[in-house]
Amino acid sequence: MTNKDMIGRCGIYCGACPIYRGTRGDREAQTFARNVWKTPPNRMTCDGCHNLKPDSHGVDCPRRECMNSKGYEYCSECPEYVSGQCEKFESMDRYFVKKGESLRENLSRVTSGNTDSWLKEQGAKWVCHSCGSPIFWEEKKCPRCGKPLK
């Protein structure tokens, strides 16, 4: 059974999000979210965007609010996404493409029935290849073993 909590409604893999990692004790992720994303301490919690609580980081995400207002589960259900005209999505996708991650490709995999294999691949991708510890997108060194990440 698929754990949808790890699937971002916009196509991110929640397991590599600094807020999600920080919620699980990754101090570098917490520092990044606080200093770079300017996340206040009371919003430094998230269990994935399919499982948000009122104080979770992503509860006021503009993409989530847009999907909720239109009754969509994923961005890819929206005609603006399909036509490439959704700037909320496009700006986020550009950010992740620079990191080697295509949110469009992720959404395509998730919504075409390849969710379990996609989750498995993402889980293997976002770990330290030296010690196997989970990492987040922006991490430069492993929070467990301290080795540099590619």
The verdict on residue 150 lying in a domain is: no
Interatomic CA distance for residues 35 and 29, integer angstroms: 10
The verdict on residue 69 lying in a domain is: yes
The verdict on residue 65 lying in a domain is: yes
pTM: 0.87
The verdict on residue 71 lying in a domain is: yes
pLDDT value for 130: 94
3-state secondary structure 60-127: HCHHHHHHHHHCCCCHHHCHHHHHCCCHHHHHHHHHHHCCCCCHHHHHHHHHCCCHHHHHHHHHHHCE
Interatomic CA distance for residues 47 and 133, integer angstroms: 18
pLDDT value for 35: 93
The verdict on residue 132 lying in a domain is: no
The verdict on residue 130 lying in a domain is: no
| pLDDT tens column, 71-102 | 999 999 999 999 999 998 999 999 999 888 89
Q: Which ranges of the chain have pLDDT less than 70?
A: 1-2
The verdict on residue 147 lying in a domain is: no
The verdict on residue 100 lying in a domain is: yes
- The encoded tokens of residue 18 equal 């600094």
pLDDT value for 113: 86
32: CB partners within 8 A, 6+ apart: 18, 22, 136, 138, 139
Q: Are 7 and 17 in contact (CB under 8 A)?
A: no
Which residue pairs from 27-34 have beta carbons closer than 8 angstroms and sit at least 24 positions apart in sequence? Answer: 27/143, 28/136, 28/139, 28/141, 28/143, 29/136, 29/139, 29/143, 32/136, 32/138, 32/139, 33/57
Domain of 78?
4-125
Structural domains in the chain (count): 1
pLDDT value for 2: 65
